[in-house]
Amino acid sequence: MAKSRTHRFSPEVRERAVRLVREQLPHHPSQWAAISAIAPKLGCTKETLRRWLLKAEQDASERSGPTSGDADRLAALERENRELKRANDILRKASAFFAAAELDRLIR
């Protein structure tokens, strides 16, 4: 069963926040200082903004790690894999059931 996630911030707000951190970076001694100054103004936590920045850097290939597209594709493949394993298990049990029924019919 898939979890339902509510996103408090739209993608546009996230992009704007990341852009704002990048623009303000020269005015702060570190990235964390810029994040700490901007996050309260946006109404999000520092960690949330840091994760948005990390994901934006990964998507732009500025940092190693899976891009959003890769992560979405991987999640879809894992979901499909679970469904296929479940279907195979059902088919295996059905096959065993019918084989046993056929054996029982031949013995009688």
5-59 pLDDT tens trace? 557 889 899 999 999 999 999 999 999 999 999 999 999 999 999 999 999 998 8
CATH for 9-65 (1.20.1250.20, 3.40.50.2300, 1.10.10.10, 1.20.210.10): 1.10.10.10
- Residue 65: strand, helix, or coil: coil
pLDDT at 86 > cutoff 60: yes
Alpha helices in the chain (DSSP H): 11-24, 31-42, 46-59, 68-107
pLDDT value of position 61: 81
Name the residue ranges covered by the structural domains of the chain: 9-65, 68-108
- Residue 26: strand, helix, or coil: helix
CB of 66 closer than 8 Å to CB of 75: no
CB of 15 closer than 8 Å to CB of 4: no
